Chain A
Amino acid sequence: MKKKKPRASWGDRILRSASGLTAVLVVGIMIWMGWEMFISSRQSLHQFGWAFLGGRVWDPVHRIFGALPFIYGTLVTSLVALVIAGPIGLGVAIFLSEMAPATVRSVVGFLVELLAAIPSVVLGLWGIFVLAPFLGKVVEPWLGKRLGFIPLFHGAPVGVDLLNGGLILAIMILPTIASISREVMTAVPTVQREAALALGATKWEMIRIGVLSYAKSGIIGSVILGLGRALGETMAVTMVIGNMPNISPSLFSTAYSMAAVIANEFTEATYGLYLSALMEIGLILFAITLLLNIFARLLVWSVARGPKGGHLV
């Protein structure tokens, strides 16, 4: 574009620099968040070093802080969520992108998005007053009777535990996995499907050969994005996990998660080191979710944003 009249170019310069500034701001926010948390957790980093990650004791009264129980609770609930929501979310994505007629697709698609829209604090409320009694009185006694010999299902059923946290998280990440997998599958070129069908494949074979193998990395990306969401989810888990820093192999045990301990104790942290230890837990959570998201986004981008032509099987 050639230079315009001076007045016009002023307008251009203002809009260009204002919008450019906000773009810089987005990157700045990210860097600033990492920096602010690093600074705030310096005291704890200095005091405990790497031992913080492996420390099993969390005792604010005696100034001993170890993050292991929280890391454990976060990982176990997230894994339970992934095991449940991964296959179901993928199934929903296949149903929506490959099978459903247009009307069913828009209705079910809308319902799944609505599930994503339910605030996590409302899911937590439901988890405390509906899911917990149901788990404690029906599901867990049943599981304990049949599968109690496995440590996973051993112990007294209470309903407010790792299993409840995992289930609530499964509900929360299901829409994430379903909608991003679906987006990736929709990006698969139609020729892939036509080629498979032309070779006499059944619909399932077409999906497996033509769609899934092509969209594989994007689907993995969607699952990792779901995992990232589960790791950092706060309110619902805080309300149903029991908030006790236990490390127990049983899913029926109360536990604690990284986000939950921050939510519960942050405003109660009465001295610098306590606050700093909580900040360090935040820093760990930030670092893990940041890395997972970078990795997952690269996978999703590689499929959804730049199809490199169909490689036929």
Chain B
Amino acid sequence: MDARRNLLNALMMGIFSLAAVIAVVPLFAVLGYVLKNGLTSLNWAFFTELPGMMGVGGGMANAIIGTLIVVLLASLIGIPIGILAAIYLSEYDRSSWFSTLVRFTSDVLTGIPSIIVGIVVYAAIVVRTKHFSAFSGGVALAIIMIPSVIRATEEMLKLVPHTIREAGDALGIPKWRIILNIVLPTAAKGILTGALLAVARISGETAPLLFTALGNLYYAHSLNEPIATLPLNIYFYAISPYDQWHKQAWAAALVLVFIVIVLNVVARLAFRSRLRKN
């Protein structure tokens, strides 16, 4: 009887360990191919030139800059809104029905498909302004990043000991200064981690940009013009019939994955040093 129980135990432990091994296989399979195909296709022109006509030559300089612009724009909109909402939830209203609703809505918003955000922003901004634009792309990405910024920031603010706020109170410091000058700086590294992870997430988003940023073969000269981004280019190049563009899609994938992983690692390092300090 006990032998059977032990056997079953060993079997289940084996299965769970195997699951962990299987789970990391696709990661290495994908990263391996991105590295292999990306490195052979990557060259200096990729970073400095505009796309070539009909799949011949050229690079993605405009898309690299475009990604930076759109992501920066989204961050400028999304991060302050996310942090402010988190301040409200953590400092002003911890447990009313309204804050529960906001928290819940924010969590649910994370699960809404990003392409839905894309068509809503299309209907709201692109249709009304009558043109695709970098600006509308930034708004779409901002909406996607807000919930994760809220969640991360709120959790960090909750970790700030209550005694710190009380100490500020005892000194007669007004509440808004306690929040801005004491609570936020204390949680700064954790908030930065959350913000960086949110930036990493939107850097790779494609679907919300299809009908907003649209893509562009040239440089965009204002936020009111369509703009090229790396994820959009990977998509367009991958489904194009040109071999040369397929190669460039791999190169772009390598650059994008590199950016995303660096953001992830930096975010985690920032968090770790915060823990060590405490």
Contact = CB atoms under 8 A, between A and B. Distances in A.
Interface string A198-238: 00001111010000000000000000010011011111000
Interface in B26-82: 26-27, 29-31, 33-34, 37, 81-82
Contacts of A98: 16
B88 A22 contact: yes
Interface stretch (B172-180, B187-195, B217-225): B172-180
Contacts, number: 277
B171 interface: no
Contacts of A207: 12
A225 B231 contact: no
Contacts of B275: none
A300 B239 CA distance: 39
A239 B33 contact: no
A125 B19 contact: no
B206 interface: yes
A124 B231 CA distance: 11
A5 B176 CA distance: 13
B24 to A, nearest CB: 5
Interface SS majority for chain B: helix
A88 B22 contact: yes
A263 B250 contact: no
Contacts of A123: 30
A184 B64 CA distance: 39
B106 interface: yes
A139 to B, nearest CB: 14
Nearest to B91: A19
A202 B105 contact: no
A232 B24 contact: no
A292 B113 CA distance: 12
Interface residues of B, number: 93
Interface string A154-171: 000000000000000001
B151 to A, nearest CB: 11
A-side interface size class:
35 or more
Interface in B180-214: 180, 200-201, 203-207, 210-211, 214
B164 interface: no
A286 to B, nearest CB: 5
A233 B234 CA distance: 17
B30 A178 contact: no
Chain A contact surface mostly: helix
A20 B235 contact: no
Contacts of B117: 33
B42 to A, nearest CB: 15
B107 to A, nearest CB: 5
A118 B116 contact: no
Nearest to B81: A22
A119 B113 contact: no
Nearest to A130: B33
Given A22-B85, A27-B101, A203-B13, 14 more contacts: A23-B99, A26-B147, A26-B150, A29-B146, A33-B112, A37-B119, A95-B19, A112-B23, A113-B264, A115-B26, A119-B257, A232-B112, A234-B207, A290-B108
Interface of A: 1, 4-5, 8-9, 11-12, 14-16, 18-27, 29-30, 32-33, 36-37, 39-40, 87-92, 94-96, 98-100, 108, 110-115, 117-126, 128-130, 171, 174, 178, 202-205, 207, 225, 228-229, 231-235, 239, 259, 262-263, 266-267, 278-279, 282, 285-286, 289-290, 292-294, 296-297, 301
In the complex, the 7 A-B pairs of residues with the closest C-beta atoms, listed nearest first: A232-B113, A119-B204, A91-B19, A8-B174, A19-B88, A293-B111, A202-B9
